[in-house]
Amino acid sequence: MNAKVIIYSYICGMSKTKTDCYFIVNPRAGSGKTMCEWLPAEHRLERSGIPFVTALTDYKRHATALAYEAAASGYRRIYAVGGDGSVHEVFNGICSWCRENDIPTEDFTIGVVPIGSGNDWIKSFGVPNDVDEAVDLICDGRTVQMDVIEVSCCAGKRLYMANIGGVGFDSHVCQRVNSQKESGKRGRLIYLNALRHTMLSLRSIDVCVLADGEFVFNGPCYSLAFGNGRYSGSGMRQVPLAVTDDGLLDYTIVPKMGLGKIVREIPRLYNGNLNESRYVLGGKCRILQVVPMDEHSEDIVELDGEIEGRLPLTMEVTGRKINVVAGSSTV
């Protein structure tokens, strides 16, 4: 491999096989505490007798390259050690390799050892936010399937979304959160600070939205969220009816309205009943298209908390699935 890889193979007399686990570790996740938590987790894996390999990331999006190389080398159980951003990168590496080599994503298993500051993806799969318990689930080998959603934006750039994305208010909150993380800040407070600051500078975007080819919205809106999972932003539920394996993508549109109405609706984001608001539009589809009304639009797109491009945007549930390490209760 071209990447710097630290190999820990505990094979017990066996040669390396495709059943080996491949862990991609983000040392900067979780306020830099990753290695302090990961080293005991490695020892736990050693004691379980599961053969595994560990690779450390050196820079942003390195996990995507490592996952791609791992898939090319024959690994089929590839796990992120970090937060939602790490999951996003690993998922993209696997799916990109599968697309380019015409290999079914159903051959792969993905999971996470949650050490990041944002661990929302795991909530849809019943994975506890605890390193030891997450490692035990990986050792147990229980999995469920998740839809693979492909995203095209920014002049044809092809990406994949594991959890939730958005434009408008949503993407600007993520942009501010990421900026705070880059300056060394961590914790739930950065999400609350980002919400507050984005609310104070709130502006609408003019978009046309099509679901499975049918116009569902045309005009100014403050936010458009779309998701396969339910949770984002440290517990918000923007698409509270999303199901990870139903073959459909959920979307929620918040049209432009008075600030007072928006403030009153904020509790619904955390209570899980945003879909019941009379001010909000939502639905399910296989293909979602978002087109800016202004051809010179600078509206940014976020996927799984990462800023990935600009409008226009097309998302499609591919019909493929990937296996996900899961706990006993999933949504």
**Residues 116 and 29: beta-carbon distance below 8 Å:** yes
Report pLDDT digits (tens) over 57-81.
Answer: 999 999 999 999 999 999 999 999 9
C-alpha 118/C-alpha 327 separation (Å) is: 19
**Residues 151 and 314: beta-carbon distance below 8 Å:** yes
Does 22 have pLDDT greater than 80? yes
Length of the chain as a residue count: 331
Report how far apart, in Å, the C-alpha atoms of 325 and of each of 45, 76, 78, 80, 186 are.
15, 13, 10, 11, 26
* Cα separation of the two ends of the chain: 37
Mean pLDDT, rounded, for 82-102: 96
Q: What is the pTM of this model?
A: 0.89
**Residues 320 and 232: beta-carbon distance below 8 Å:** no
Q: For residue 301, how many other CB atoms are within 10 A of its CB?
A: 28
Report pLDDT digits (tens) over 257-273.
Answer: 998 898 899 899 889 99
**Residues 45 and 101: beta-carbon distance below 8 Å:** no
Does 327 have pLDDT greater than 60? yes
C-alpha 60/C-alpha 6 separation (Å) is: 18
Report pLDDT digits (tens) over 222-252.
Answer: 999 999 999 997 788 999 999 999 999 999 9
Over the Cα atoms of the chain, what is R_g?
20
* Residue 14 confidence (pLDDT): 36
Rounded to an integer, what is the distance from CA 326 to the centroid of its chain? 15
Q: Is 319 exposed, middle or buried (0-12, 13-18, 19+ CB in 10 A)?
A: exposed
Q: Kindly report the average pLDDT of the chain as a whole number.
A: 89
Report pLDDT digits (tens) over 296-318.
Answer: 788 999 999 999 999 999 999 99
Domains identified in the chain and CATH numbers: 5-141 (3.40.50.10330), 153-318 (2.60.200.40)
Q: Which of the residue ranges 13-17, 65-69, 196-200 would you say has the lowest mean pLDDT?
A: 13-17
Rounded to an integer, what is the distance from CA 25 to the centroid of its chain? 16
Residue 169's contacts (CB-CB under 8 Å, 6 or more residues apart) are 198, 202, 222, 223, 254
User: What value, to the nearest 5°, has the Cα angle with vertex 82 and ends 76 and 87?
Assistant: 50
